[in-house]
Structure 1
Amino acid sequence: MSQPARALPDLATTDPVTLTRVLCDIASVSGEERAIADAVEHALRAMPHLEVLRDGDAVLARTNRARASRVVIAGHLDTVPVQGNLPTQLRTDEVDGEVLWGRGTVDMKGGVAVALHLAAAVADPAVDVTYAFYDHEEVEAAKNGLGRIARNHPAWLAADFAILGEPTSGHVEGGCNGTMRLDVRTPGCTAHSARAWRGHNAIHDLAPVLTALAAHTSETVTVDGLDYREGLNAVGVRGGIAGNMIPDDAVVTVNYRFAPSRDAAQAEAYVREVLADALAALPDATVTVTDVAEGARPGLDHPVAAAFVAAATAATGAQINPKYGWTDVARFSALGVPAVNFGPGDPSLAHADDERVPTAQIAAVADALRAWLAP
């Protein structure tokens, strides 16, 4: 293929911090990943030990050494919109030392840079590795490049274990919680508020549902040795027509963050159980699941995963934590591949205008993965 408009430096000899900065300075807001995908593809095709595949603006590369195990190391190429925080800047912080500022430094071009560097520098890894760099992660799930790869090229994601380079401050976050949203709708009857007795107030009927949610204590569920804190909350209430009318319709949106030990059907059954008494008092109420994404078990008992955890903790002193938010590790779980999140950057700074990462975290994550992959 021809030279891309913005070529990457040599992946094997360029340190991951410098590579992070180069990647961040190639703007790649979701839907505009073509330039960075071209640069990544061009750089990977220069590596004779890698087989490379391009699908849209996703690029995959893999070793084929006939190892006993295969792992996937993945990361998305896109970012949320730039808010005056490019080009990147290197600054010195009294606490963190050298810090790289700019869009994508945390979410998640630090993780992508580490993976690209290792793809080139570790030509003969102890396990076969598939590297997946994909598009459209920061937008609606239907456009997600990893999901498209799973549909178009499922064999490329077949593995014993997967690592997603999402920001974790250099710790290992196993699996992820699932998430479900449900609408509880109550019907009423419209009337003038001056003659309220002629109607039936649908908003008032939400009271037992809200009371049940407020009284509920969420569980902590242990899965593969990690404690996943669940959450069941009202996250939205809507209803009403005008300031002088009794509402004839009201909805409370409920969000359930559930441990990866439950599937979608079990999660819905649990919410209905919590709300059972409230719904019994509201025979005309309806419950509708509007969105659901199942979680992912970490699978840390798998020998390949255990070896990775040992290498990460030895190299960086990484803690092993559960992932409470949903990430694309769940897509691997749906394919039967246990997965963890492991990458540089504080996740609370993802998407922030002051997005920044200590360069020592990028180096530490690279060291941990290199120690694991090196034969």
Structure 2
Amino acid sequence: MSQTAATSPAPTVAQMAQALMACPSVTPATGAVFDCLEGQLAPLGFEVIRFLAGEAPDGPVENMLAIRRGPEGSRHFAFAGHLDVVPPGEGWTSAPFAPEVRGELLYGRGAVDMKGSIAAMAAAAREIPVEAGTLSFVITGDEEGPARFGTLALIERMRELGAIPDLCLVGEPTSVNRLGDTVKIGRRGSINVFLDVEGVQGHVAYPHLADNPITRLVAMLAELKAMPLDDGTDWFQASNLEVTDLTVGNPAHNVIPAKASARISIRFNDRHTGAGLAERVAEVAARHGGTARPLISGEAFLTPPGAFSDMVSGAIAAETGVTAELSTSGGTSDARFLKDLSPVIEFGLCNATMHKLDEAVAVADLEALARIYRRIAEAALAG
């Protein structure tokens, strides 16, 4: 080894994030971005397992399970996240996949959602000795998309290998106004239902010879919108049902159409299940002569406040002085799948610029996040 290589300093967490961000990885992600992360983890002693899952149009998706085993019988802590990003769109100040630091901020697609967090995880792992316990990285290339072949496939592989963590932390950007102010200990469930009403086409001047499906669909939607759900719980806001699409596709002003369709979306708390809500919607649809086709994206879950959330909150307070709010707000994440393996909590960077033009993260936040992640992992491994 040359003297230069022997004394070369380890890359900073910002440099590690830049390397990941420089790899275009719009959903579904494969290839170079996984090469980059493997290059960061393998030298730390991680066994890296990569595999493709699924077929077009929602695949193939690349997934990575990286494990560094500690002493036999030691605890197992998992970092989880995704390397895929949403399309950057037009209008960036600088190229979205040519990350650069301007002032105190690192700009580029994936800065906060969530390549910055994954870089902080890798930087944290670099500082945790093997003797502390087993560490793993559960990384998918399909979180921003349909999520059919990502974390679900990783969970199956982990079960096959018997690599079930005691605790899992997902690095989604949960912070709102400053790093550490919000930690997610649960998420609402999500279901979309596609509604169809068949009618009889006819002339508007002869309505007795037709059957207008729009009339019945509107009545159906009104009943669904008025359907009581709940008033919320101690940890969840009230469930809500929203109409998200109405489709008739009738170009003629003097024709009663033969079919009308709609879509509703329900975000629900842990007082419901997706199947239970699907049944209730189907009953309403049937009363109006319609049909309902449900698509359940995830069930509601809660990791009750306790030792794990105390570890996370304590690490945040130690590094930032911030008192974290425990929350279940927001949309869904892959934590909805990982909760079937172990208790799971989400914590990461400030989310103000996620999915936006000129997505950016404060370099100081990246550095602080790596220290927080190290504290969390060490506390989790210590039990």
How does the TM-score come out when normalised to structure 2? Answer: 0.81
**Residue 287, structure 1, aligned to residue 298, structure 2:** no
Secondary structure of 1:142's aligned partner: coil
**How far does residue 179 in structure 1 lie from its aligned partner after superposition?**
0.8
Corresponding position of 2:262:
252
Q: Which residue of 1 aligns with 2:358?
A: 354
1:210-259 Cα deviation digits (max 9, x unpaired): 3234445663433xx52244221111111243313101211221111111
Question: Which of these residues, 51, 58, 62, is aligned with residue 55 of structure 1?
Answer: 51
Match of residue 199 from structure 2: 188
Q: Where do 5+ consecutive residues of structure 1 fail to align?
A: 1-9, 93-97
Tell me which amino acid in the other structure corresponds to 1:241. N
1:20 aligned partner:
17
Tell me, yes or no, if structure 1 residue 206 matches structure 2 residue 217: yes
Aligned to 1:167: 173
Residues 350 and 331 of structure 1: CA distance in aligned 2, closer, same or farther (over 3 Å): same
1:163–1:31 distance in 2 versus 1, CA, 3 Å: same
State the 1:111 CA deviation.
0.8
* Deviation string, structure 1 residues 137-191 (Cα, Å, up to 9, x no partner): 23222232x2222223324651222111111124311221111111232221110
Structure 1 segments of 4+ aligned residues over 6 angstroms from their partners: none
Count of residue correspondences: 349
Return the match for 2:247 from 224, 238, 258: 238
Alignment-derived partner of residue 65 in structure 1: 71
Q: Is residue 177 from structure 1 mapped to residue 183 from structure 2 by the alignment?
A: no
Which letter does structure 2 place at the counterpart of 1:47?
A: L
The partner residue of 1:227 within 228, 231, 236 is 236
Residue in structure 2 matching 1:79, options 82, 85, 102: 85
Distance 2:226 2:188 in 1: 22
2:188–2:236 Cα contact (<8 Å) kept: no
Give 1:52's aligned amino acid: V
> Does the C-alpha gap of structure 1 residues 25 and 265 become closer, same or farther in structure 2, counting only changes over 3 Å?
same
Shift of 1:331: 1.0
Partner SS state of residue 53, structure 1: strand
Deviations 1:111-155 (A, max 9, x none): 1101111122212475532122222323222232x2222223324
Alignment check: 8 A CA contact 2:70 2:132 kept: no
CA distance in 2, matches of 1:183, 1:81: 26
The verdict on how the C-alpha distance between 1:315 and 1:127 changes in structure 2, with shifts beyond 3 A counting, is farther
* Alignment partner, residue 59 of structure 2: none
The answer on whether the counterparts of 1:184 and 1:288 sit within 8 Å (CA) in structure 2 is yes
Q: Specify whether residues 153 and 55 from structure 1 end up closer, same or farther in structure 2 by C-alpha distance, changes over 3 A only.
A: farther
CA RMSD of superposed structures (Å): 2.8
Kindly provide the amino acid, as one letter, of the partner of residue 311 in structure 2. A
- Describe the superposition over 1:66-106 as per-residue Cα deviations: whole angstroms up to 9, x where unpaired: 465322111111222344423123234xxxxx222111112
**Identity among equivalent pairs (%):** 24
| Counterpart Cα distance in 1 of 2:98 and 2:47 | 32
Contact 2:190 2:265 in 1 (8 A): yes
Query: Residues 70 and 130 of structure 2 are in contact (CA less than 8 Å); yes or no, is this contact kept in structure 1?
Result: no
Q: Residue type of the partner of 1:55?
A: F
Measure, in 1, the Cα distance between the counterparts of 2:9 and 2:265: 45
> 1:110 Cα shift?
0.8
* 2:23–2:97 contact (8 Å) kept in structure 1: no
1:342 aligns with one of 318, 338, 347? 347
Name the SS of the counterpart of 2:15 in structure 1.
helix
- The 1:220/1:183 distance shift into structure 2, 3 A limit, reads same
What is the CA–CA distance in structure 2 between the aligned matches of 1:142 and 1:17, rounded to whole Å?
Answer: 31
In the alignment, the residues of structure 2 paired with residue 304 and residue 119 of structure 1 have an alpha-carbon distance, to the nearest angstrom, of 19
Check conservation: 2:20, 2:37, Cα contact below 8 A. Answer: no
- Structure 2 residue matching 1:90: 3-state secondary structure: strand
Does the CA-based 8 Å contact 1:41-1:54 persist in structure 2?
no
Q: Given the superposition, is the C-alpha separation of residues 219 and 312 from structure 1 closer, same or farther in structure 2, using an over 3 Å criterion?
A: farther
- Give, in angstroms, the shift of residue 373 of structure 1: 2.7
- CA displacement at 1:301 relative to structure 2: 4.0
Q: Which amino acid aligns with 2:184?
A: E
Structure-2 change in CA distance of 1:35 and 1:128 (3 Å):
same
Deviations 1:24-46 (A, max 9, x none): 11222234531121222233222
Are 1:115 and 2:121 matched, yes or no?
Answer: yes
Q: Is the 8 A contact 1:213 1:233 kept in 2?
A: no
Deviations 1:272-310 (A, max 9, x none): 5xx74x854x2x222221x10223523234534432333
Mapped contact 1:332–1:339 kept (Cα < 8 A): yes
The residue number in structure 2 matching 1:143 is: 149
Question: Is residue 12–residue 120 contact of structure 1 (8 Å, CA) maintained in 2?
Answer: no
Matched, 1:299 2:295: no
Aligned mates of 1:216, 1:234 — CA distance in 2: 13
1:322, distance to aligned residue in structure 2 (A)? 1.0
Unaligned runs of 5+ in 2: 1-6, 53-61, 90-94
Q: Please name the residue that 1:29 is paired with.
A: 26
Instruction: Name the residue aligned to 1:153.
Output: 158
